[in-house]
Amino acid sequence: MRFIDPHCHMSSRTTDDYERMQAAGVVAVIEPAFWLGQPRTNVGSYIDYLSSIVGWERFRASQFGIKHYCTIGLNSKEANNEALAEAVMDILPRYLSKEGVVAVGEIGYDDGSALEDKYYRAQLTLALEYDMLVMVHTPHRDKKAGTIRSMEVAVEMGMAPGRVIIDHNNEETVRDVLDRGFWAGFTLYPNTKMGSERMVEIVRQYGSDRIFVDSSADWGVSDPLAVPKTARLMIERGIPLKDVEATCYGNALAAYAQSGQMQESHWLAPEPVDQRMLFEGNTVLRGQTPSVGAVPERAAIVDTAVFK
């Protein structure tokens, strides 16, 4: 099977993770612009970060046979720093038209403050201006109310539900998201939030229409193999293969293909891997012999423990 991880913070991961993901069948990832774990102190750090996810990270993924896409936005936590937020809003347009940018995101609410609302609305306006999709981060506290508010504001601002991905869903939000016509993403962590076993039961109850799973693999305890592992568990628990393929591959492709930036042909007929290539004079190999024309042999064999 092929897999897409449509929410994966690869700038926080190592090249070993890319190798393991490729070996497990991951063909594409989407990296949303994200909070670093501590507050940024100036817009320059945002410029460097956004430049890295449209540049270096896209190159790094390509060296291991994985297509890398991203979303660009001001995250909800940093929307509460008004001076920083204003400066970030000024520089966002320069990144929205970059190759591989599939949406404005991840944006939305964290504490639900007035400033978060202001900049959520401002970025929805930007998405409409640039005819872009939106990826919404739903709050971890009071999730149901925050999710409903996110959807209501998106519609109020003129977004079509089918062009908005609502992420970090759980059992209390899925029905509202689906009933309103939005895409429902589910972030699967090893120990918190949604887990693979709970995800199996959601697909059993709701089917696979407009539902997909992701790892959100980041700098915290997380698993970049969450999507293939969940697919395997779904199969073991008797979920029909068509639903497994939809939630772990097809729906993410259908949602983000609307951007015009993400196409299945990118990995079905890819350009050959050429690890002799450099990015700004740099390589990921650190002295190893470059592979040319195929995925590196060390990434081509699936570890027998990869799904354990």
Residue pointed to by tokens 């774990």: 37
Domain boundaries, the chain: 3-300
- 10 Å CB burial of residue 164 (0-12, 13-18, 19+) is buried
Contacts of 133 (CB under 8 A, 6+ apart): 102, 103, 104, 105, 127, 163, 164, 165, 255, 256, 258, 259
CATH of 3-300, one of 3.30.360.10, 3.20.20.140, 3.90.1300.10, 3.30.1280.10: 3.20.20.140
Look over the chain and give the mean of its residue pLDDT values, rounded to a whole number. 91
Which residues, other chains included, contact 111 with Cβ-Cβ below 8 Å and sequence gap of 6+?
Answer: 80, 139, 141
* Separation of alpha carbons 218 and 33, rounded Å: 11
Note the pTM of the prediction, 2 decimals: 0.92
User: Taking 60 as the threshold, does the pLDDT of residue 25 lie above it?
Assistant: yes
pLDDT of residue 290: 73
Say if CB 92 and CB 74 are below 8 A apart.
Answer: yes
Type of residue found at 199: M
pLDDT tens digits, one per residue of 99-153: 999 999 999 999 999 999 999 999 999 999 999 999 999 998 899 999 999 999 9
User: What's the CA gap between 148 and 112, in Å, rounded?
Assistant: 12
Quick one: pLDDT at residue 287? 63
Bridge partners (DSSP) listed for residue 188 = 193, 194
pLDDT at 301 over 80: no
User: Which is higher by pLDDT, 269 or 259?
Assistant: 259
Spatial separation of the C-alpha atoms in residues 43 and 272, rounded to whole Å:
37
Q: How large a percentage of the chain has pLDDT more than 90?
A: 79
The string of DSSP letters for 134-167 reads EEEEPPSSSHHHHHHHHHHHHHHTT--GGGEEEE
pLDDT in tens, 181-231: 999 999 998 766 678 999 999 999 999 999 999 998 888 888 999 999 999
How far is residue 78's CA from residue 41's CA, in Å, rounded to a whole number? 10
Question: What's the CA gap between 32 and 28, in Å, rounded?
Answer: 13
Structure-derived torsion over alpha carbons of residues 264, 267, 268, 273, reported in degrees to the nearest 10: 160
What pLDDT, on the 0 to 100 scale, is given for residue 236? 97
- pLDDT at residue number 231: 97
